[in-house]
Amino acid sequence: MSEEEFWSCYSEIEEAAHSSFEEFASSDKLLDKALEGIRGCLRVTEGEAKRLAERMGLDVNGNIIELSWVLAKARVISPKLLDDLEDVYAISQKGADRLTVYSALIRSMEVIEALWSSVRSQLNEPTHR
């Protein structure tokens, strides 16, 4: 189920990213969809990261950022990915302005997909879209 749920949330981000800035700026629905898509992808990835951390005998407490720190220390994800993830997480949680959210959509998608792929590959469950 998590694979399907991840890509469903990801498609919400894609929809917002394919809109023009003018369309995005005037649509609460697109902004909400983008933020919910990011949060959804992070939530699903957090569940998979917890599963991976448990399998590796690592600490599984905390949110996706805290789990990613644990996984970075275990060399599952790169420090650069962790740094980028912190930016994406901050945008999704702090209600950034529309311009910031819109300008970060493509990079957010790249970071989220890289994290998802890293976790899934360590679980020996390749990602399929």
What pLDDT shows up at residue 125? Answer: 65
Neighbours of 64 (CB within 10 A): 24
- Is residue 100 within 8 Å of residue 91, measured between CB atoms? yes
- The tokens describing 96, both together, are 């950034």
> Is residue 51 assigned to a domain?
yes
Largest CA distance in the chain: 48
Spatial CB neighbours of 63, under 8 Å, sequence gap ≥ 6: 46
Q: What is the mean pLDDT of each run of 10 residues along the chain (129 residues)?
A: 90 96 95 96 95 89 91 92 94 86 96 95 72
Q: Is 16 helix (H, G, I), strand (E, B) or coil?
A: helix
Look at the chain and report how many structural domains it folds into: 1
What pLDDT shows up at residue 124? Answer: 81
What pLDDT shows up at residue 1? Answer: 54
Q: Is 115 helix (H, G, I), strand (E, B) or coil?
A: helix
> Is residue 128 assigned to a domain?
no
> Is residue 129 assigned to a domain?
no
The answer to pTM > 0.75 is yes
> Is residue 111 assigned to a domain?
yes
> Is residue 127 assigned to a domain?
no
- The tokens describing 47, both together, are 């569940």
> Is residue 108 assigned to a domain?
yes
Q: Domain limits at 64?
A: 2-122
What pLDDT shows up at residue 61? Answer: 86
> Is residue 91 assigned to a domain?
yes
> Is residue 55 assigned to a domain?
yes
- The tokens describing 80, both together, are 């650069």
